[in-house]
Amino acid sequence: MSSLLLRNIGCLISGKVDKPYCEGDAVLIKDGLIAVIGGNSLAESDADLVVDVQGATVAPGLIDSHVHPVLGDYTPRQKMLDFMESSLHGGVTTMISAGEPHTPGRPKDPAGTKALAILCHKSSRNYRPGGVKLHGGALILEKGLKEEDFAELAGEGVWLVGEVGLGSVKDPEEAAQMVRWAHKYGMKVMMHTGGTSLPGSSVVTAGDVLTVQPDVASHVNGGPTAPPLQEIERLVTEAQMALEIVHCGNPKAADYAARLLKEKGELHRLVIGNDAPSGTGVIPLGILRVMAQLSSMSGISGAEVVAAASGNTAALYGLNTGVVEVGREADLVVLDAPMGSVGEDALKALEAGDVPAVGMVLVDGKVMFNISRNTPPPKRKPVLKEMKK
């Protein structure tokens, strides 16, 4: 049995937006799962490795709710290698595919779009780029798909439908029927919202989204072009689906959507994505940057914005990660104020608009690195100590 103890935690963030803090300053991990949340009185001898975080903040690993992968850790969209592993250095431990539309020569017939989804789903199950848990293989809806196709895909393990609107299915009523089939077989569905992003995609209105009823309205702040603010208000007030804010979008619209959700008392509906790779590029710190924007400008506390980038997304997609709780997968990030920040800790840095420093990332209780290569250095550096057995 492998075990690791995180101790001397200054602030332990739960990832739950309604109860954002955990009581305790130590976490014991056994065989990749959180086993005990308690105090520094937890015995160091119970662990193979002890990490003294020196009073820094420990939070759930961040979940990027919107990535466009292909195969492996390569993007033909920006001709880059290792972009997902680089995001790990931005605290991201899990990524959700919103579809693989950048696949060169992407097939657009029913058999081809099914084959692509199955291939990418199974590939991502077998390969973790840098340790990131990628959930790939999001079906792109194309004309000609029938209910039996969704049954076949579900039988192969495919459980995601990529952004409705990326494929040839544009009519909301036609899309709504396919979404009903997807839901029948347990799939989670995303839907493009706002202006066009790629040749072949289309402008999607709030009315279209309300007709289709996906699980999440993707990039309500635009991907990259935002819908009118009154359309965002319709999605907040007339629906219960999750609303996604992305880095590759409109900051004014992001602020508007976040404030509306906060005022309505429905921050549990807010999830955060990058929407990369895209024409905007690849931004390894994109999730942290959105968190800093919303926390410093939209009246959302640092702890609440952490939940929007972790536990909210985990709840939406039914993942056993994203929350600091006994029995959850031990995907954790050690955060602190970056050197030079006016913030005294990670949350105060976020609320001041600074991207926090990533001091360590753990995936399934395994230390992936100590000090990020992408963020500024932390004020407090975790100290590792191997225990002799």
Which of 234, 263, 284 terminates a domain? The answer is 284
The verdict on 49 and 141 lying in the same domain is no
Residue 329 pLDDT exceeds 80: yes
Mean pLDDT of 92-96: 98
From CA 95, how far away is CA 70, in angstroms rounded?
13
The verdict on 134 and 254 lying in the same domain is yes
The verdict on 167 and 180 lying in the same domain is yes
Mean pLDDT of 51-60: 98
Using pLDDT thresholds of 50, 70 and 90, give the confidence band for residue 202. low
Range of the domain at 142: 62-284
Q: 333 lies in a domain?
A: yes
Using pLDDT thresholds of 50, 70 and 90, give the confidence band for residue 41. confident
Mean pLDDT of 97-117: 97
The verdict on 134 and 272 lying in the same domain is yes
CA distances from 285 to 83, 170, 208, 232, 297 (A): 11, 33, 32, 25, 18
Mean pLDDT of 53-65: 98
The pLDDT value given to residue 86: 97
CA distances from 95 to 92, 124, 131, 348 (A): 7, 10, 11, 26
Residue 283 pLDDT exceeds 90: yes
The verdict on 224 and 238 lying in the same domain is yes
Residue 199 pLDDT exceeds 60: no
The verdict on 71 and 175 lying in the same domain is yes
Q: 256 lies in a domain?
A: yes
Is 79 buried (19+), middle (13-18) or exposed (0-12) by CB count in 10 A?
Answer: exposed
CA distance between the termini of the chain: 12
Q: What is the Rg, in whole angstroms, of the alpha carbon atoms belonging to the chain?
A: 20
Q: 314 lies in a domain?
A: no
Q: Which of 259, 294, 300 is nearest to 273 (CA)?
A: 294
The pLDDT value given to residue 45: 81
The pLDDT value given to residue 342: 97
Mean pLDDT of 75-85: 94
Residue 197 pLDDT exceeds 80: no
Give the whole-number percent of the chain exceeding pLDDT 90.
Answer: 93
Round the average pLDDT of the chain to a whole number and report it: 95
Mean pLDDT of 289-296: 98
The verdict on 79 and 16 lying in the same domain is no
Mean pLDDT of 337-347: 97
Which of 265, 284, 303 terminates a domain? The answer is 284
- Which CATH number fits the domain that encloses residue 163? 3.20.20.140
Mean pLDDT of 62-74: 96
The pLDDT value given to residue 198: 55
Using pLDDT thresholds of 50, 70 and 90, give the confidence band for residue 40. confident
